[in-house]
Each structure stands twice: as C-alpha cells, then as structure tokens.
Amino acid sequence: MQNPPRWVSSSGDAERPNVARLYDYYLGGAHNFAVDREFAEQSLKVVPVAAIAQHARAFLRRAVRRCVADGVRQFLDLGSGIPTAGNVHEVALQADPACRVVYVDNEPATVAHGRTMLRDNGSVAVAQADLRDPDAVLCSPEVRALLDLSRPVAVLMVGVLPYLTDEDRPAEVVARYRAVMAPGSHLVVSHLTADVQPEMVEKLVGVAAETLTPVVARSKAEVEPLLAGFDLLEPGLVLAAKWHGEGEAATGAETVSYGAVGVKR
C-alpha cells in the first residue's frame, strides 16, 4: 500500500524534531530521523506519548471503518502528518477498494515524504495546504482530482485541532468545511483534553512546546461547539478510547483525548 522510505532533501529538516516524524516513530514507523528518535525516547521518560499516539490511531481506524460502513467512500484527512502504518487509506481501501483519500498537511517536507511513499497509489494523494484555509484545501489539485464534494465525504480532524489557538477560531474553521459538505457527510474529530489527567496533559503540552509546535488542551465544554451542525453518532462525544473501544488497558494514556463522529443531515 505504501513504498518504503526514500527521503527527499529539506534544508535543516534533519536537525530538529519534527511532529509528523515523531508521531510516526511513536507508532512504530520507519519514516523518522535520528534527531526524532532521540527526542522521542527522552519524551517517553516524561509522558507516555507512544501509548497516547496508539490510542489516537486506534480511534482513527474505528472511525474510518464506521464511515465506510455508513456508505462514505471519500476521505479528506486534515493535518494528516506522514501517512504511516495503519493510516486512513490502508483501512479504507481494505474495506472497499473504491475509496479515495486525500491527505492534507502544511509542512513541505512532510508532504514530500508522503507523496514519495504513496507515489504508486492512484487512489490516494497528498495536498500541501493549511487546514485553516479551507478554500486553499478544497481548491487544491489533489482534492479536485480525487474527491467529489457533491457526494458524502468524511472530513477527518483527528488530533489536529489542538494545534489551532483560540485566535484561529477553530469552530469557525470547522463550520467552513461543514458548509461545503454534502448531506450524509461525516466529521471525525479527536481533541486533547486535560479534564481527566491534568498533570499528564500538562507534561504533554510541555513536550510539544519543545518541538516549537505548541498545542492547546480543551475541556469537553470547549470541544462541543466545534461539532455544531452535526448529529453525533452514539455514544456521542466521549473519551476517544471509549468510542466503540475494545477494553484498552487503563494506563492513563487513554483518558487524554475526546473523540466523536458526526453526520451532516
């Protein structure tokens, strides 16, 4: 489904940790550098980042399977990072080879790596755009070529909204995507929260700040407005590990993120 690593050059890219490559490392992928591995190992001494990433990926897989079961065959993954093992296209295409997936990321090196990995897969593309600019995302050549927005699409915002500050007006960003989604479209959201494990999340926020990509944890009451205009599938907005989860071990890592899937009627 994806090709092995064949790195593209990027000035200075290997000199500092990169969020997308760190996430790849935490998930057991091979698309990372020595600087990422060193930082990741140090961060794991502070907070169980790998377990947190694995819970997030498990939620993503369950949500994608639900979208396919509901008849959705198009996926727009915003802030996707590197499409490492177990990502959207692998799950969706296994369920139905007719699925189409566009990954979107705003970092040139991450986009270049993703395009290299998926260079032989005609059902998948990687667009370079910032999710805060829906017009740029939706008008990108990759979206226009692969997705038909007059038909239901699954818009995935898994773990990415914490990177939007309040000044970015995340609820308005989500609403702009909702406005162009056809009836029957699905929105998949997960969001970092300190509601249950404030000390653990404080440490996680500190680790993120060291990568120069700070994140914002939000309460359930702050996440709910992001889902306005969507009918939430059962069990609603809950801890992501409990969204049709399968009894994940209680380590604390499973309590730092909310998850939900909503349908536009």
pLDDT reading at 207 higher than 80? yes
Residues 152-170 have pLDDT tens digits of 999 999 999 999 999 999 9
Lowest-pLDDT choice from 65-69, 204-208, 235-239: 204-208
Average pLDDT in the chain = 89
Q: How far apart are CA 101 and CA 91, in angstroms?
A: 11
- Count CB-CB contacts under 10 A for residue 119: 12
Residues 223-233 have pLDDT tens digits of 999 999 999 99
Q: What pLDDT, on a 0 to 100 scale, did the predictor assign at position 180?
A: 97
Phi, psi (5° rounding) for residue 239? -55, 135
- Count CB-CB contacts under 10 A for residue 10: 14
Q: How far apart are CA 104 and CA 115, in angstroms?
A: 11
Q: How far apart are CA 174 and CA 195, in angstroms?
A: 22
Do the strands 186-192 and 100-105 form a parallel or antiparallel pair, or are they unpaired?
Answer: unpaired
Contacts (Cβ under 8 Å, ≥6 apart) of 127: 102, 103, 104, 105, 111, 137, 140, 141, 142, 143
pLDDT reading at 144 higher than 90? yes
Among 52, 62, 58, 63, CA closest to 255? 52
| Cβ atoms of 27 and 84 closer than 8 Å | yes
| The pair of three-digit structure tokens given for residue 147, joined into one six-digit string | 């997705």
| The pair of three-digit structure tokens given for residue 14, joined into one six-digit string | 């290997």
